[in-house]
């Protein structure tokens, strides 16, 4: 983790140097014709979690997690002869995480090496016709880690209306492969070996596919100079292996198995946003979402964020989010499932619970850049999360934007 932290610091310094030496600030009021680098964003976050309901151990035992995430985004902008704007955005993310509960994939807890690395590049291209108020976009995404691979494709469009509204449609598909890493007691004898760092090794894990298809619809409307609203609807369909093979379930007789879930799931989130501008310095950003799926989960999400301008270039944004959900039809705690159950899981993310997430962010964006450099924005955000299942987490993130 120290090595990755030093790498990220080096990236920050490198891009500060690149912008200061390679790009001069453009003060003339013209739009470039050729595609050129317009913006660079660097994001880092650190997440830590504690809890007492490890899905790997059947819903009991500690579940500490730490995660260091780093992302780099480059944005190129160009305008053609017809004043149509093209934006090419490329990004790459690297996450490094540890989870002590993963050691219990082996029933003895023999695996000491529980570190994981996820790499996820992305590519998006957007064409915008400002005269017609329309845009079209396509994108691709890939994620790779030891037990999971994912390829994502998407396409979207927006259309503005004559009365300050905008319709949006986005279609996406994710095509995943899940490695079938079973708990040690379900592997054939001799399948697991222990590496030099205490990690579990398996010569040839099979995999199982998973597909997710989403159609997202949105409509936003400017009511007046103070009020903006948006309506959001997602239709999500999933097929394939929808659990994780190393999640145990313990039955009432004390025996165990691997969680078993249906191979299909339909999700329907409905959302509503309302932003109210309370004068020139305060904004009330509200959000509500109702969610229902074919597994029996019903949930409500309500959030409020209040950005406050301390100065024209410095703001602070306290926020609060409340969430509550019912349990999935297939959830039961440790040793509460019957062997006659058709489907079963003891993963507490599918249990009934409520949660709170609150914190604050600060944003600094002077017009000439921070310290008169190409560092245009600096955002720092902290959040604390609590769940009625005794899960507690903290996350802090830093976003640096270069222009």
SS (H, E, C) 269-311: EEEEEEEEEECCCEEEEEEEEEEEECCCCEEEEEEEECCEEEE
Residue of higher predicted confidence among 100 and 203:
100
Residue of higher predicted confidence among 145 and 184:
145
Contact 379, 365 (CB under 8 A): no
Residue of higher predicted confidence among 269 and 14:
269
Q: Does residue 400 register a pLDDT over 50?
A: yes
What is the pLDDT confidence band of residue 209, given thresholds at 50, 70 and 90?
very high
Q: Looking at residue 185, what is its pLDDT?
A: 87
What is the pLDDT confidence band of residue 68, given thresholds at 50, 70 and 90?
very high
Q: What distance in Å separates the CA atoms of residue 298 and residue 292, rounded to the nearest whole number?
A: 5
Q: Does residue 312 register a pLDDT over 70?
A: yes
Residue of higher predicted confidence among 351 and 6:
351
Q: Does residue 186 register a pLDDT over 90?
A: no
Contact 278, 261 (CB under 8 A): no
Residue 101 sits at φ, ψ, to 5 deg, of -65, -20
Q: Does residue 53 register a pLDDT over 80?
A: yes
Percentage of the chain with pLDDT > 90?
75
Which run of H or of E encompasses 15? Answer: helix 2-22
Mean pLDDT of 341-364: 98
Q: Does residue 156 register a pLDDT over 90?
A: yes
Q: What distance in Å separates the CA atoms of residue 135 and residue 151, rounded to the nearest whole number?
A: 24
Q: Does residue 19 register a pLDDT over 60?
A: no
Q: Which of 379, 374, 371, 363 lies closest to 37, judged by CA?
A: 374
Write down all domains in the chain, each with its CATH number in brackets: 32-402 (2.40.160.40)
Mean pLDDT of 210-233: 97
Of the listed ranges 89-93, 114-118, 175-179, 318-322, the one predicted with least confidence: 114-118
Q: What distance in Å separates the CA atoms of residue 83 and residue 137, rounded to the nearest whole number?
A: 17
Mean pLDDT of 132-159: 96
Q: Looking at residue 31, what is its pLDDT?
A: 53
- Collapsed DSSP state (helix, strand, coil) of residue 37: strand
Alpha helices in 35-112 (DSSP H): none
Q: Does residue 8 register a pLDDT over 60?
A: no
Residue 164 sits at φ, ψ, to 5 deg, of 65, 35
Which of 74-88, 149-163, 188-202: highest mean pLDDT? Answer: 149-163
Q: Looking at residue 20, what is its pLDDT?
A: 43
Residue 123: partners with Cβ closer than 8 Å, 6 or more residues away: 88, 89, 90, 91, 139, 140, 141
pTM of the entire structure?
A: 0.88
Q: Looking at residue 16, what is its pLDDT?
A: 44
Structure token digits, residue 170: 């986005």
Of the listed ranges 10-19, 147-156, 199-208, 387-396, the one predicted with least confidence: 10-19
What is the pLDDT confidence band of residue 198, given thresholds at 50, 70 and 90?
low
Radius of gyration from C-alpha coordinates of the chain: 24
pLDDT in tens, 269-295: 999 999 999 988 999 999 999 999 999
Q: Does residue 258 register a pLDDT over 80?
A: yes
What is the pLDDT confidence band of residue 23, given thresholds at 50, 70 and 90?
very low
Structure token digits, residue 2: 């120290």
Q: What distance in Å separates the CA atoms of residue 389 and residue 53, rounded to the nearest whole number?
A: 8
DSSP string, 305-363: E--EEEETTEEEEEEEEEEEEPPPTTB--TT-B-TT-SSBB--GGGS-EEEEEEEEEEE
- Collapsed DSSP state (helix, strand, coil) of residue 105: helix
Residue of higher predicted confidence among 182 and 360:
360
Q: What distance in Å separates the CA atoms of residue 400 and residue 46, rounded to the nearest whole number?
A: 15
Q: Does residue 177 register a pLDDT over 90?
A: yes
Q: Does residue 351 register a pLDDT over 60?
A: yes
């Amino acid at each position: 983790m120290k090595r990755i932290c030093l790498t990220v610091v080096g990236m920050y310094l490198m891009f500060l140097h690149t912008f200061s030496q390679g790009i001069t600030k453009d003060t003339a009021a013209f739009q470039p014709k050729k595609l050129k680098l317009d913006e660079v964003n660097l994001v880092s976050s650190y997440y830590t979690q504690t809890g007492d309901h490890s899905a790997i151990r059947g819903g009991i035992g500690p579940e500490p997690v730490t995660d260091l995430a780093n992302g780099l985004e480059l944005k190129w902008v160009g305008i053609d002869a017809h004043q149509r704007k093209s934006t090419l955005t490329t990004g790459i993310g690297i996450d490094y995480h540890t989870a002590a509960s993963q050691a219990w994939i082996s029933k003895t807890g023999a695996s000491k090496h529980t570190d994981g690395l996820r790499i996820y590049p992305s590519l998006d291209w957007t064409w915008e016709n400002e005269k017609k108020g329309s845009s079209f976009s396509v994108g691709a995404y890939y994620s790779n880690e030891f037990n999971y691979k994912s390829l994502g494709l998407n396409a979207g469009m927006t259309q503005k209306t004559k009365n300050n509204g905008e319709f949006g449609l986005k279609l996406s598909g994710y095509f995943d492969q899940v490695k079938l890493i079973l708990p040690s007691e379900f592997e054939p004898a001799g399948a697991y070996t222990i590496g030099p760092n205490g990690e579990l090794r398996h010569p040839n894990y099979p995999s199982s596919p998973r597909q997710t298809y989403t159609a997202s619809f949105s409509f936003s409307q400017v009511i007046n100079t103070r009020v903006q609203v948006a309506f959001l609807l997602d239709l999500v369909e999933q097929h394939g292996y929808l659990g994780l093979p190393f999640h145990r379930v313990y039955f009432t007789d004390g025996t165990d198995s691997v969680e078993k879930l249906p191979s299909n799931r339909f999700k329907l989130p409905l959302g509503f946003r309302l932003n109210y501008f309370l004068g020139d310095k305060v904004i009330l950003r509200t959000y509500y979402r109702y969610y229902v799926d074919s597994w029996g989960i019903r949930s409500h999400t309500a959030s409020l964020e209040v950005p406050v301008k301390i100065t024209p270039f410095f703001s602070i944004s306290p926020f609060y989010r409340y969430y509550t959900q019912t349990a999935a039809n297939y959830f039961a705690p440790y040793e509460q499932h019957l062997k006659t159950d058709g489907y079963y899981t003891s993963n507490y993310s599918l249990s009934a619970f409520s949660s709170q997430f609150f914190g604050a962010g600060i944003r600094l964006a002077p017009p000439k850049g921070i310290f008169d450099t190409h560092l245009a924005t600096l955002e720092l955000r902290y959040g604390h999360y609590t769940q009625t299942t005794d899960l507690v987490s903290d996350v802090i993130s830093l976003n640096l934007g270069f222009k």
